[in-house]
């Protein structure tokens, strides 16, 4: 793989060239809330910032929008209730400076949305194919980051077309796919020594991350042993059952599909919205029965799903990339690392009260 | 040295559990990352050693006490004690099952404001968190090449918005208090928060409201952290009939916030938990401040000052002067 070099001074030209074919999005500082990073279109005269940890929201909604109209239908007449697909959005876009954890998140969700011929979500796949991912390696992981433990890393490459490493004045550009190669083709080749500098930066970043949890016993333990831990009662008692952890998560992907009919009987729409396992309505059956009727069952679901059910189904892959958003943004500071440690602890049963 | 409030809270909690006066003490423990405190329930005297008090106890523990049927003590600053009174009045908890460990409050800090002062640098430790109102906190951190920093930030520069205009910093109706009373108000003008709304015409109000809530992701953390929101099924979750759409369309987002605010009008203690909980940093108080100002102006009511007074908007009198009630 041929490394390229891009000086930050010539970034404007690079973005301008991209803008001819793509809408370029990058993390920008929010105007309303201090220190909040949001994904926004990079305007012609703007250069992206490199001084940030990560965006508040993961970029998953570029591919899996929080609300997405899938089909429309007429309520009355000859064609009543005939579902017609909506015209797909055609924007081709570049996500510039996407963090490796978020890119891994999207490649993880490829496994969910596009499993095989039968499970091949056109809404996901279409937008994913139209989205170029140019990553920015993480040189200063923050204390809530744990990507290394989640089979990811600050310089991870999965899901990216290009990985860039900030060397100070320059960015080292590593094309990873054919699309990435063609985008980087016009850039000058990196000089000898520059990839080595990037490797040292990577090592520093990894060394700076403290190992915060282990999963050996979670893997060995049976599903039912983990399911029945009294510890769940302890985690759930301060959880407020909001959806924050799932909404900010780059790998949470549950949704709800609803048909909406306007009051005037005009055209209706079939829309899919993010849903979340913490909500009582999420598993409510039409019969009135709710298999996860208690809060403790809902809280357990989130952690078991990410660290037990998904690894069992997906060859050991966990449903988490360690971005730390749920740690930082949980209103009551429930820390997934503590929960996994408790699932892994030999005396985990002693931690909780009897349910 | 252990902060005085922390020490006194632990002592009170331990005494109550040892004496069998309560079954559990609802308080805070150290958060897992700097600038956070974690709600924590102590069931044994030993667990009381985990309780803390810091400048980041910005949730509202009354919501955790709400609906419990065992005997609980709750660590409560002024606003939270008023919510507990409200919950007793609304029969969410029995007064005889409740013990309020009151904390005279010097105002909580807003982690976003602290983070903004450090612009992109990683915060590793909160080294000092003094209890003086005009003191400061000391933050340290390093990057991956061990370039480190130490920053002193004045508490008064990074307080949560609602703590600048607090009207009741001392707990109301506490069974005991763990520190000397502090000055009753924080000195800010509570009416000033709503003042701009009174000046705006209807179009401008709608415009400002729309902008304020445009980033809402409908995680409902504001609702779930609020002790006033305890309906078994919230109107936004009701599916038969469905009152409110599930989408991100402005109409659905706005319906949620307007209806929630009106459900809380005249009951809100301006505790600020909704703003602290919001992952998007939305200023919820821009909506609630006007409603609460109207309640103060029209009925002279301040929510939660005792367990008996009915919130004005849930009161009906046959001699109500409004014609549409007759």
pLDDT (tens digit per residue) in A14-47: 999 999 999 999 999 998 888 899 999 998 788 8
The answer for residues whose C-beta is within 8 angstroms of residue A334's C-beta and 6 or more apart is A235, A238, A239, A245, A326, B38
Q: Are B65 and B87 in contact (CB under 8 A)?
A: yes
Whether the full predicted model's pTM is greater than 0.90, yes or no, is yes
Cα A277 from chain centre: 16
**3-class SS of residue A143:** coil
Other residues' Cβ atoms within 10 Å of the Cβ of residue B110: 24
Closest CA to B271 of B314, B228, B213: B228
- According to DSSP, the β-strands at B37-42 and B24-30 are antiparallel
Which of A140, A240, A334 is facing B224, going by the closest CB pair?
A: A240
Lowest average pLDDT, out of A271-285, B110-124, B173-187, goes to B110-124
CB-facing half-sphere around the CA of A218: CA atoms within 13 A: 23
Q: Integer distance in angstroms from the first to the last C-alpha of chain B?
A: 63
| Mean pLDDT value across residues A189-208 | 95
Q: How close A258 comes to chain B (CA, Å)? A: 8
SS3 B61: coil
Q: Does B34 have pLDDT greater than 90?
A: yes
Best mutation target, A31, A34, A204, to test chain B (most B CBs within 10 A): A34
**How is A19-57 classified by DSSP, letter by letter?**
HTTSEEEEEEE-SSSTT-EEEEE--TT-------S--SS
pLDDT tops 80 at residue A347: no
Q: Residue A354 — pLDDT band, cuts 50, 70, 90?
A: very low
Distances (CA, A) of A270 to A6, A131, B210: 45, 24, 25
Q: Which of A36, A271, A327 sits opposite B281 (nearest CB)?
A: A36
| Shortest distance, CA B60 to any CA of chain A (angstroms) | 10
Instruction: Give me the pLDDT at residue B325, please.
Output: 65
Percent pLDDT > 90 in chain A is 83
To probe the interface with A, which of B225, B280, B284 has the most A CB atoms within 10 Å? B280
**In chain A, pLDDT over 70 holds for what percent of residues?**
97
Q: What is the mean pLDDT of residues A193-201?
A: 96
The band of B134, judged by pLDDT with boundaries at 50, 70 and 90, is confident
pLDDT in tens, B262-286: 999 999 999 999 999 999 999 999 8
Q: Could you give the CA distance from residue B49 to residue B36 in angstroms, rounded to a whole number?
A: 18
Report, as an integer, the average pLDDT of B121-129. 90
CA of A219 vs chain B CAs: smallest distance (Å): 24
Binning pLDDT at 50, 70 and 90, where does residue B1 land?
A: low
CB contact under 8 A, A67 and B249: yes
Distances from the Cα of A354 to the Cα of A297, B50, B99, B132, angstroms: 15, 20, 25, 41
Query: Taking CA B169 as the corner, what is the angle to CA B49 and CA B171, rounded to the nearest 5 degrees?
Result: 60
What per-residue confidence (pLDDT) applies to B142? 87
Q: Smallest Cβ distance to B246: which of A51, A246, A273?
A: A273
B41-83 pLDDT, tens digit per residue, is: 999 999 999 999 999 999 999 999 999 999 999 999 999 999 9
Q: Exposed/middle/buried for A220, CB within 10 Å: 0-12, 13-18, 19+?
A: exposed
Do B120 and A51 lie within an 8 Å CB cutoff? yes
Which residues of A are less than 8 Å from B64 in CB distance?
Answer: 237-238
Disruptive mutation site among B40, B61, B62, B221 for chain A (greatest number of A CBs within 10 Å): B221
Q: ipTM higher than 0.90?
A: yes
pLDDT category of residue A262 using cuts at 50, 70 and 90 = confident
Amino acid B99: pLDDT: 98
Instruction: Give chain B's radius of gyration (CA, Å).
Output: 21
| Pairwise CB contact (< 8 Å): A33 & B280 | yes
**B126: three-class secondary structure by DSSP:** strand
The set of residues, in sequence order, having a beta carbon less than 8 Å from that of B122 and lying 6+ positions away, is A53, A140, A141, A142, A143, B141, B142, B143
Q: Count of residues for chain A? A: 355
Over residues A73-79, mean pLDDT: 87
Measured between CB atoms, which of B34, B144, B248 is closest to A204?
B144
The residue assigned the tokens 């920093």 is: B149
Mean pLDDT confidence for A275-288: 92
Scanning every residue of chain A, which has its alpha carbon at the shortest distance from the alpha carbon of B252? A67
* pLDDT at residue B118 in the model: 87
């Amino acid at each position: 793989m041929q490394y390229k070099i891009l000086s930050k001074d010539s970034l404007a030209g690079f973005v301008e060239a991209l803008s001819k074919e793509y809408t370029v999005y990058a993390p920008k500082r929010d105007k309303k809330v201090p220190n909040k990073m949001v994904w926004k279109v990079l305007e012609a005269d703007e250069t992206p910032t490199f001084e940030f940890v990560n965006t508040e929201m993961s970029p998953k909604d570029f591919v899996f929008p929080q609300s997405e109209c899938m089909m429309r239908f007429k309520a009355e007449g000859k064609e009543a209730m005939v579902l017609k697909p909506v015209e797909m959005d055609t924007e081709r876009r570049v996500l510039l400076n996407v963090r490796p954890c978020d890119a891994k998140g999207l490649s993880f969700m490829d496994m969910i949305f596009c499993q095989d011929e039968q499970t091949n979500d056109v809404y996901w796949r279409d937008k994913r194919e139209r989205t170029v991912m140019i990553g920015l390696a993480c040189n200063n992981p923050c204390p809530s980051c744990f990507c290394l433990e989640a089979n990811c890393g600050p310089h991870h490459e999965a899901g990216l077309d290009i990985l860039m490493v900030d060397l100070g004045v320059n960015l080292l550009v590593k094309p990873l796919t054919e699309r990435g190669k063609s985008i980087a083709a016009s850039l000058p080749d990196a000089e000898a020594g520059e990839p080595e500098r990037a490797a040292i930066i990577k090592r520093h970043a990894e060394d700076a991350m403290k190992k915060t949890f282990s999963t050996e016993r979670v893997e060995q333990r049976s599903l039912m042993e983990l399911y029945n831990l009294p510890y769940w009662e302890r985690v759930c008692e301060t959880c407020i059952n909001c959806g924050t952890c799932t909404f900010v998560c780059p790998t949470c992907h549950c949704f709800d599909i609803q048909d909406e009919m306007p009051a005037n009987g005009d055209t209706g729409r079939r829309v899919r919205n993010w849903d979340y396992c913490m909500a009582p309505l999420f598993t409510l059956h039409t019969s009135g029965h709710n298999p996860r009727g208690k809060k403790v069952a809902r809280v357990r679901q989130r952690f078991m799903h990410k660290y037990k059910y998904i690894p069992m189904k997906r060859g050991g892959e966990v449903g988490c990339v360690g971005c730390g958003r749920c740690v930082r943004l949980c209103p009551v500071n429930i820390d997934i690392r503590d929960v996994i440690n408790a699932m892994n602890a030999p005396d985990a049963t002693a931690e909780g009260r009897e349910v | 040295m252990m902060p005085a409030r922390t020490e006194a809270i632990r002592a009170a909690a331990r005494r109550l559990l040892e004496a069998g006066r309560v079954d559990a003490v609802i308080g805070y423990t150290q958060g897992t990352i700097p600038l956070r405190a974690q709600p924590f329930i102590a069931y044994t005297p030993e667990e009381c050693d985990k309780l803390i008090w810091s400048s980041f106890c910005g949730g509202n523990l009354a919501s955790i006490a709400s609906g419990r049927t065992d005997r609980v003590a709750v660590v409560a600053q002024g606003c939270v004690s008023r919510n507990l009174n409200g919950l007793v009045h609304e029969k969410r908890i029995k007064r005889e099952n409740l013990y309020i460990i009151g904390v005279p409050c010097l105002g909580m800090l807003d982690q976003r404001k602290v983070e903004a002062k450090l612009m992109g640098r990683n915060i590793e430790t909160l080294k000092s968190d003094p209890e003086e109102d005009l003191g400061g906190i000391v933050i340290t951190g390093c990057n991956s090449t061990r370039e480190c920093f130490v920053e002193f930030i004045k508490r008064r520069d990074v307080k949560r918005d609602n703590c600048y205009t607090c009207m009741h910093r001392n707990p109301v109706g506490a069974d005991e208090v763990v520190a000397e009373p502090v000055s009753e108000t924080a000195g800010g003008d509570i009416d000033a928060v709503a003042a701009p709304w009174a000046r705006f015409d209807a179009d401008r109000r709608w415009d400002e409201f729309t902008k304020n809530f445009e980033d809402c992701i409908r995680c409902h953390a504001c609702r779930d952290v609020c002790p006033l929101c305890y309906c078994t099924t919230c109107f936004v979750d009701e599916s038969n009939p469905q009152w409110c759409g599930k989408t991100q369309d402005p109409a659905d987002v706005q319906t949620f916030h307007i209806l929630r605010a009106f459900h809380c009008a005249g009951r809100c203690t301006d505790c600020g938990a909704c703003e602290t909980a919001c992952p998007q940093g939305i200023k919820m108080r821009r909506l609630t401040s006007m409603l609460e100002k109207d309640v103060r102006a029209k009925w002279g009511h301040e929510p939660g000052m005792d367990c008996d007074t009915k919130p004005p908007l849930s009161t009906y009198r046959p001699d109500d002067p409004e014609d549409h009630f007759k």
